[in-house]
Amino acid sequence: MEGKGIQKGMKFAFALIITLLLAGDVFASEKEISNGDKDKRVMTPERKKQHHAMSIIEKQWNLAKKAMDVGDFQTAGMVVEKILEEAVSVENYKPYKNADKPKQYLEDYNFFRETLIKLKEAINRKEKTIGEISKSVDEACKRCHGKFR
Ligand code: HEC
């Protein structure tokens, strides 16, 4: 009984966080600036946008994973949907490394996108593969970062 109460509370907390996340980009701005300074990489308006998008995606993805952990699939599905919307811009990034390999970049992008779509479908059907596909999404982040970040 007590466990159920906690779970309800968690769900409420997630709903709140999501509302905040979707309402504004409050969380993203500070990090993107400090990261850019630290790396001493040339910051163009385009890159500023992609840093921003990435940090939003990171927060959304962490949220989706937490929602899946507590079994809140409705929230998880919603957040994955949002990531998919945000991820459209990832296709056109100007990566810092290996910018001369657009074909490989596109492959990594497509893997990322396809994995997210698979995850969303699995969540909708509450399939057992959710955990496994989640790991593939983590892998997709790493795969692209390894070459292009
Ligand atoms: C197809 C390529 C690609 C995929 C997939 C990808 N990223 Fe990135 N990511 C990048 C590149 C390129 C950068 C560095 C350039 C930048 O930040 O603008 C980056 C930077 C980041 C940053 C640093 C942002 C900042 O403010 O400096 C975070 C955090 C991040 N990614 C999280 C994620 C997470 C989490 C996922 C998976 C859910 C993911 N990324 C998937 C390409 C990708």
**For 62-74, how does the pLDDT look when each residue is reduced to its tens digit (9 = 90+)?**
999 999 999 999 9
CA–CA gap between residue 138 and residue 149 (Å, rounded): 15
Residues 21 and 78: their CA atoms lie apart, in Å, by 12
Q: Measured from the CA of 97, which atom of ligand 1 is nearest?
A: 12
Q: Residue 25: what pLDDT?
A: 54
Spatial CA neighbour of 28 closest among 8, 48, 3: 48
Cα Rg for the chain, rounded, in angstroms? 17
Q: pLDDT at position 76, please?
A: 98
Predicted TM-score of the model (pTM): 0.81
pLDDT at 23: 58
Across 15-32, b (16+ Cβ under 10 Å) vs e yields eebbeebeeeeeebeeeb
The more confident residue out of 94 and 134 is 134
Residue 133 is part of which domain span? 2-148
The more confidently predicted of residues 13 and 135 is 135
- Give how many domains the chain has, as a whole number: 1
- State the residue for tokens 């995850």: 119
| Residues with C-beta less than 6 Å from any ligand 1 atom | 31-32, 35, 47, 50-51, 54-55, 57-58, 61, 90, 93, 95-96, 108-109, 112, 137, 140-141, 144-145, 148-149
Tokens, residue 74: 């409705």
For residue 36, name the pLDDT band (cuts at 50, 70, 90): very low
Instruction: Give the total residue count for the chain.
Output: 149
Cα distance between residue 115 and residue 109, in whole Å: 10
Ligand 1 center to 6 CA (angstroms): 33
Band of the pLDDT at 131, cuts 50, 70, 90? Answer: very high
Q: Write phi, then psi, for 125 (nearest 5 degrees).
A: -95, 5
Q: Per-residue pLDDT for 103 more than 90?
A: yes
On the question of pLDDT at 6 being above 90, the answer is no
Please tell me the number of Cα atoms within 13 Å of 21 on its side-chain side.
24
Atom 13 in ligand 1: which residue has the minimum CA distance? 149
